[in-house]
Structure 1
Amino acid sequence: MSGRLSGALATLGLVTLVASTPGLTWAAEVRLRVMQTSDIHMNLLNYDYYQDRESQEFGLSKTITLIHQARAEAPNSLLFDNGDLLQGNPLGDLVARVKPLKAGEVHPAYKVLNLLGVDAANIGNHEFNYGLPFLRQALSGATFPYLNANVMEADGRRHAFTPSVMLEREVTDEQGKTHKLKIGVMGLTPPQIMEWDRQNLAGRVQVRDMVEVARETVPALRRQGADLVVVIAHTGIEKTELPRLSENMAAQLARVPGVDALLLGHAHTEFPGPGFAGYPGADLDKGRLFGVPAVMPGRWGDHLGIVDLRLSDKGGRWHVVDSRASLRPIFDRANRRPLVATDPMPAAVIATEHQATLDHVRSQVAHTDTPIHSYFGQTVDSLAVRLVAQAQLRYAQRAVQGTALDRLPMLSAAAPFKSGGRQGWTQYTDIPAGPIAIKHVADLYVYPNTIKVVKLTGAQVRDWLEMSAGQFRRIDPAGPAQQPLLDTGYPGFNFDMMWGADDGLRYALDLTQPARFDKEGKLANDSHRVVDLSWKGQPLDDQAAFLVVTNNYRAYGGGHFPALAADKVVVDAPDETREALARDLASQPSADEGGLSASWRIRPVPGVKLQFLSGAGAIARLTPATPVRLVKENGDGSALFELAD
């Protein structure tokens, strides 16, 4: 065995047994490195537009340094992006809404990715947030293939996008000889786009089940001569089996015959990684899911995903004989230090768009006399979330004025979008007292959602709040004196709180009870965490009709909340929540004056301290009025707090 080959295989942790029988010849062996980015969300630069400062913890400009390093190590490599690229921060909003792309202009994301040499890319769910016309216009600027196999035209018969591509590449084997390799690549996105972006997609496209489409497309690529099949799926990994048309179907896709590499995303988590220990089919050492090499590189460019494959040419056909998937981070979270330098290319090629974004986000719209933050937004009533609910409420009251809906009581639901955790301990809204700029409005509401109003019964309102209460762990009143409060696997954007017009709604949460619903919105226990639920000082009537203001994601079923679906929508407003929020803030002398008051609380558990983690920045925001105490700062950017008795 040559020194070069043995060294290469040692790097991969692979061992090859070579026959020494006279007359046998070496089978050609090729090392192929597949690299992946995903869920960049327009963080092309390592710049936090909300805090208006550079960040060392995210940004494609950091990931690019890892890409160059990984390419230099491997004689043969491919680079793919897995979507959720075009939306996610004020730079994305600028080119889609504020200063829309003109005909023939190249989207800043593709100014960067075109130079990076991407081989192909997938379309994520957030690509649809700005509508199909904008998406098609933006994609036209990419110089590499864009794929999606499960979004169909309105007739359901034709693909809305290019479903797959056959890449033909010349590769070099371990003996220095060149070969032709055909790589079939397909893309998939969650069917839930029809719920989440209903106003953009209804009547325009249909979406098929990801696994069903993969079972058709993978063998078709093989029949077309693919030596290797790569599935780029904008989907995450669930621990349990899910029904068809679910958003996280990685485990099922890994079991589709003929898949050689599975590139994942959407969930903003890291595979292989300790968070998936004990998951069915997960091999964290080799980075495999049910035997298939798989990788999911977090979010915002904080990791580069790598799948290393060893291919052997046996009988005229290439086969994967070994593999390893791994992640490379840009930042050391434990020691709070950057691991790579920033590549200068992105800043150079999108300098104009970056400056235009800064000019826009720095413009003032309002004022606040007190700091506004979301550090405690998952555990106590939060001004940051309440301001959103207030703006939604006022908008909807104007929308229904003079109609038959005007007589119904109105509630407003909102959630803490920036709540740290898997996003990182700096990812909280934190607006100092003083001027409120556009960047702060975007910090309060990070998605381009639109306002919707649904009509529900009191019982359905109660179930909505019960579903939200699933973010908390069950507290054992006879258990330890300190107990963790939050289920860290529950996304903060699904913790809806509610307020009522004229401060009419009040409720408490009894966390000694088990959650009534599971994460799919199915009844799990005959229990109630929502207690003391009242409207205008009286117990809330389960039979009464209510209007609830929310966003398009939630109204159309996002998050699997019971009863919520298109048939409940009675006001289908076109305006973005952020626009309503900016107008509402501008109309007030100060953001913290004359608004809604606290509507809910967690009921204390005698003898038990209810503890939770938040960003260490929260320490500076503690005041005597905050019903929270600091337990300790952890030194990793987080701090431990507990609810005051």
Structure 2
Amino acid sequence: MPEPATRIRPMGRRAVLTGGAAAILAAAGFTPAQAATGRSAGKATGEPTYTLTVMGTTDLHGNVFNWDYFGDKEFDDTQHDDIGLAKIATLVDAVRAERGRRNTLLIDAGDTIQGTPLAYYYARVEPITKQRIHPMAAAMNAIGFDAAALGNHEFNYGIPLLRTFEKQLDFPLLGANAVDQRTGQPAFAPYTVRTVRFEGARPLKVGILGLTNPGIAIWDKANVEGQMTFPGLVEQARVFVPRLRRAGADIVVVSAHSGADTSSSYGDALPYPENASTLLAEEVPGIDAVLVGHAHAEIPQRFVTNKETGAQVLLTEPSYWGRRLSLIDLDVRWSGRQGWQVVAKRSQVLKSNTVPEDTEIVALLKGDHDKVVTYVNSPVGTSKEAMSAATARYEDVPALDFVNFVQAKAVKDALAGTADAELPVLSIAAPFNRDAAIPAGQVSVRDVAGLYIYDNTLLAVRFTGAQLKDYLELSATYFKQVTGSGPFAPDDVTNAPTPTAPSGTPDYNYDVVSGLDAPLTYDIDITKAPGQRITGLAYGGAPVGADQVFALAVNNYRQSGGGNFPHVSTAEVIYNRQVEIRQLLIDWVSAAGEIDPVAFSSVDWRLVADGTPVVIEG
């Protein structure tokens, strides 16, 4: 593909800030001592020094407003953070007012169009078209982004919808390592060059390289196989950073949808690490700063030494959902012999919970938001009893039984009339959302969707009893090893740290398995070491044989290797219609009209200590 043209960035909108930019920034945690602006005399050369500020967001996941669609209320969490682009817009306007619009850039590190009912609605219920603009595109255009990198979740709804979204943007969507399988060239613009014109100075050319996550090849295999490949971040940066420098870039900033700390949730299923931003900074010369994404971490400032040049590369990550805005400050100085040189670097993050939502963004997208609120609150059926997922991570509850029942029933129905019709069907589900609850009485779309907060699709694979035992043992590493049967607090037994999850195994990597036509029963002995915990594994009351064959209903994330569960990614796929599980749940309730837990709920697994049930309180 042709190289992207150098662009002069537009000035964008002008905002009115109530209370003044300085006050807004101070409330958001801005540290003036870290961020000299404008220009000052160079100490050594007498040449003036200018400050370029690159603002960054990442992992916005369809959040425009500070709103919890599943809770039908203003968003809040234990840290009382706020979220959404409407909040970010206020911070961006304050930075531009304080620094001067011409001295700033605004970029994003991916995962933009998936993650909320707002994003789902405009991908599946009322999909975007040439005439119907995606709310995230409308918001980002209005705020005036200069570039954004592709995230892995950009591919969840398929390449055609992604291309429609791309065309709606007033700025480039970058992905140097999203490669067209036919041509071997990037399928999206690999980079862009922005020209910054400081007052009274020569133009400064800023190269922005976009890199996405190699895991797309696994997680969205059904959407990208045969069309795109996703080589490693380091490998593609080695090609395109020198190319950017040859194109005249004085500064190179990488927007990378890849976490800072080198690791992979997919193990060795790919030759490229999932989280590679530090590796990128260490191994590829010529990078000045990296805006980090994907890991949902907060990194105000981190310096990494490039192994070849010894240069200090600056990394920052602004959390996720619009909780934070990263500020990267690069002090630059011009000399006739060396051109523009970076003489100092620093970064920080600003909190969005101290500022109001931008009124322009609110006015622009309130109609879209209200339409989605109406959709998620519309009734879809009733439930005879209330069901909660609050304790699903440590005890068998009807809420997860319901998810497994619907998944297994869909697979059984699809296999009818095939050679696999007689296989006993099992299903896996994870406690994705501790706040999920189905009320007794009328049930809304929002209630049902809260049980399954991800846009995963359903598959089924052929699985043996021996493979099932291995799978359950891996799942059971979620629990901490204890002595005795308790009582314990929930946090004393759950979210165990592991080598691949040093901060604790997330709830979504704990799977429970249920049978459809007969119960699958097992105990998890958490006094035993990981790998030796599953006891009494039985189907229909009989011990599961190593060679016994099942149809196992799984989501596409698991089947593609997410979580690095054994066997499932290499098992034969016997069902895959790319139907979203959340929509299956909604459709089932709509068709049945009533949820009756008696029809699918039973206690089939439990935590034990040498055969004695573990007591968990709190």
Using structure 2 for the length normalisation, give the TM-score. 0.85
The match for 2:575 is 571
- Secondary structure of the residue that 2:118 maps to in structure 1? helix
Cα distance, 1:316–1:201 mapped onto 2, change above 3 Å: same
Which residue does the alignment assign to 1:592? 597
Counterpart CA distance in 1 for 2:549 and 2:488 is: 42
Check the 8 A contact 1:112/1:345 in 2, yes or no. no
Q: Do the aligned partners of 2:48 and 2:333 also contact (CA within 8 Å) in 1? A: yes
The answer on 1:70 being equivalent to 2:95 is yes
CA-to-aligned-CA distance 1:515-564 (integer Å, 9 cap, x gap): 3xxxxxxxxxxx31222212222222122111100111111222211112
1:239 & 1:154 partners in 2: Cα distance? 26
| Offset of residue 486 of structure 1 | 2.2
Q: How does 1:80-95 map to 2 (within 5 A)?
A: 80-95=107-122
Letter of the structure 2 residue corresponding to residue 216 of structure 1: V
SS in 1 for 2:327: strand
Q: Distance in 1 between matches of 2:32 and 2:361?
A: 34
Deviations 1:353-390 (A, max 9, x none): 11221221122112123333322222222332221111
Q: 1:402 aligns with which of 393, 396, 417?
A: 417
CA distance in 2, matches of 1:444, 1:48: 14
Q: Is 1:532 matched with 2:536? A: yes
Q: Which amino acid aligns with 1:354?
A: H
Relative to structure 1, is the Cα distance of residues 497 and 575 closer, same or farther in structure 2, using a 3 angstrom cutoff?
A: same
Alignment pair present for 1:411 and 2:416 = no
3-state SS, counterpart of residue 198 of structure 2: strand
Q: Does 1:182 align with 2:170?
A: no
CA distance in 2, matches of 1:125, 1:472: 29
Q: Residues 366 and 591 of structure 1 are in contact (CA less than 8 Å); yes or no, is this contact kept in structure 2?
A: no
Q: CA-to-partner distance for each residue in 1:449-481, whole Å, 9 max, x for gaps?
A: 221001111111111112222222232569998
Instruction: Give the Cα–Cα distance (whole angstroms) in 2 for the partners of residues 465 and 251 of structure 1.
Output: 33
Find 1:209's aligned residue among 232, 235, 259: 232
Gap change, CA 1:532 and 1:38, over 3 Å in 2: same
Indicate which of 270, 275, 285 corresponds to 2:298: 270
Q: What TM-score do the two structures reach when normalised by structure 1?
A: 0.81
Any conservation in 2 of the 1:101–1:107 contact (CA below 8 Å)?
Answer: yes
Alignment of 1:129-168 (within 5 A): 129-168=156-195
CA 1:575/1:313 → structure 2, altered by over 3 Å: closer, same or farther? same
Shift of 1:235: 0.9
Q: 1:55 aligns with which of 38, 63, 75?
A: 75
Structure 2 equivalent of residue 31 of structure 1:
51
Distance in 2, Cα, partners of 1:264 & 1:245: 17
Q: Which runs of 5+ in 1 are unaligned?
A: 1-7, 284-288, 332-338, 420-427, 516-526, 611-626, 631-645
Counterpart Cα distance in 2 of 1:444 and 1:479: 29
**Cα distance in 2 for residues equivalent to 1:576 and 1:216:** 37
Given the superposition, is the C-alpha separation of residues 317 and 373 from structure 1 closer, same or farther in structure 2, using an over 3 Å criterion? farther
Call closer, same or farther: CA 1:223–1:606 in 2, change over 3 Å: same
CA contact (8 A) 1:477 1:606 kept: no
Identity of aligned residues (%): 35
How many residues matched?
561
What value does the CA root-mean-square deviation take over the aligned residues?
2.9
After TM superposition, give the deviation of residue 567 of structure 1 in Å.
5.0
Q: 2:454 aligns with which of 434, 447, 458?
A: 447
Q: 1:291 to 1:599 in 2, by over 3 A?
A: farther
| Residues 312, 320 of structure 1: 8 Å contact kept | yes
Matched-pair contact (CA < 8 Å) for 1:190–1:234: yes
Distance 2:343 2:125 in 1: 51
Structure 2, unmatched stretches of 5+, are 1-30, 77-81, 497-502
Q: Which amino acid is 1:296 matched to?
A: E
Structure 1: how far apart are the matches of 2:128 and 2:487? 57
Within 5 Å, give how 1:548-559 maps onto structure 2: 548-559=552-563
CA distance in 2, matches of 1:114, 1:199: 30
The Cα shift of 1:432 comes to 3.2
* 215 and 492 in structure 1: CA distance in 2 versus 1, 3 angstrom threshold: same
Q: Deviations over 1:428-447 (max 9, x none)?
A: 22343321111122211122
Aligned with 2:464 (options 457, 460, 463): 457
Quote the offset at 1:239 in angstroms: 5.7
SS at match of 1:603: strand
Give, in whole Å, the separation in 2 of the partners of 1:384 and 1:11: 49
Residue matched to 1:602 = 607
